A and B are shown apart, each in its own frame.
Chain A
Amino acid sequence: MYNLVLKKFESHKKMKILVAIKRVQDYNVKVRPKSDGSDVDIDGIKMGINPFDENALEEALRLREKELATEITVVSIGDSKNEDVLRHGLAMGANRAILIESEEYLQPLSVAKVLKGLVEKEKPDLILLGKLALDSDAGQTGQMLAGLLNYPQGTFVSKIEINNNKLIVTREIDGGTNILEMSVPAVLTADLRLNEPRFVKLPNLMMARKKTIEKVKASELASDTSTNIELLEVSVPPSRKAGIKVSSAKELLQKLKDNEGIKL
């Protein structure tokens, strides 16, 4: 019996977790293009931590509460404005915060390259990210990072368990779920269903203000963050046509056939 307990104790290696968080517009804000169409107008709008990234951090904290993780580091890329989301991460309970300084808005591939540099330096066992950022709607950084590191990946994750030092990951996919088993180090991206992030208490936020945020330049972590993508123009999407009422199922079928090209 004693042996069994000992074995169980030994079988859980405590993980070091890196959580990447992005500062984006508040999800209630409707972002508009600038009048000249050169970019979006985000001056003065409410910003905060990307919701999916908050799920990723919450899960890391829960793994630490289950004594499966030791140190949780939050990292964000950008200018000093990003300190607010890092402090939010510290207030939620992260042990450390790192700001990767970059003046330019980086594309997902460049973000992945910079994070790869940090992973090689910090050597986390698990890297958690949100599955998507509310601004670019790209949903790529986690998979790209896993590809660059040649780590196993789990995307759109709604449940994380650990058994014999293996991650058992439930993923949300079209029409159901799929479950993967993988070793660490690995990269996982969080779905909103993963958990309900905790509220940040005011005293925690006050304490987080006093903590140091470590800083490193993006150029020290990745030699090339240039991109071949050029933004030409942003615009307001064409408004949707008003709906119509049909009087019978037969008319509906006819409309679908004539107007939507659906073959019946």
Chain B
Amino acid sequence: MFKVISAAKSWDGEIDLLIMGKNTADVAQNAAKIKDLSSIIRLDGNHLEHLLAEDAAKIVEMLSDSYQVILAAHSWFSRNFLPRVAAILNVSLITDVLKIENNNVYTRSIYAGNVHAKIHSKDPIQLLTIHTSLFDACAKDGGDAKVIKKRFTSTNESDKLEVRENK
């Protein structure tokens, strides 16, 4: 989280943090202390405990109007749902970004790490996952971001899915 926030500082503008899940109050309170953040958007509920890609994508879609850049750490969680977000928003997703340069130019690895590609994206929303070990963490305190609670109800489509087990 701290490394993703520091990656987000590559662009000018305010940075908000989206937290989705169950019992997220403490996480949100701690995150509010991060100096670089303007606000914390918090979506909480039992139905978000095992967050499904279908729901996570709808939540990000619902919020996407206000943002020009959306980033996440490159993990099984983001790899699962952010491509879905990208398709819904009709933009590309740039995964596992190694380096962020000016003007939406990125370096990422291809061919199983044998080649680095430098690419430029002209998409209206820059959507990316970052290779966190190559980014420094941001300061963890000194801030006072406001926590904004939002609601999301699962849709019919995702009611078809239920998590039966999570080890």
- Measured CB to CB, the residues of A under 8 A from B are 25, 27, 30-33, 40, 107-109, 112, 134-148, 150, 152-153, 155-156, 168, 172-183, 227-237, 261
Contacts and interface: CB of A to CB of B under 8 A. Distances in A.
B148 interface: no
B161 A152 contact: yes
Contact of A139 (B54, B79, B85): B79
Contacts of A40: 110-111, 115
B18 to A, nearest CB: 18
Interface stretch (B6-14, B34-42, B63-71, B87-95): B87-95
A242 B112 CA distance: 20
A203 B34 CA distance: 65
Interface in B52-93: 52-54, 57, 75-77, 79-88, 90-93
Contacts of B160: 152, 182-183
Contacts of B136: 261
A165 B120 CA distance: 44
Contacts of A181: 161-162, 164
B61 to A, nearest CB: 9
B157 A143 contact: no
Contacts of B92: 107-109, 227-229
A33 B85 CA distance: 31
Chain B interface SS verdict (over half) = mixed
Closest 6 CB pairs of A and B: A143-B83, A147-B87, A140-B83, A176-B167, A147-B84, A144-B87
A233 B83 contact: no
17 contacts: A32-B115, A33-B115, A138-B95, A139-B95, A140-B95, A143-B84, A152-B161, A156-B80, A175-B167, A178-B50, A180-B162, A230-B120, A231-B118, A234-B110, A234-B116, A234-B117, A235-B118
A233 B117 contact: yes
B84 A146 contact: yes
A140 B115 contact: no
Interface residues of B, number: 53
B16 interface: no
A155 B81 CA distance: 9
A118 B79 CA distance: 24
Nearest to A40: B115
B29 interface: no
B88 A147 contact: yes
Contacts of B112: 27, 134, 137
B105 interface: yes
B113 interface: yes
B115 A147 contact: no
Nearest to A149: B87
B121 to A, nearest CB: 5
Contacts of B115: 31-33, 40, 234-237
A107 B91 CA distance: 11
Given A235-B115, A236-B115, A237-B116, A178 B88 contact: no
B119 interface: yes
A107 B86 CA distance: 12
B140 to A, nearest CB: 11
A108 B90 CA distance: 11
B110 A135 contact: yes
B141 interface: no
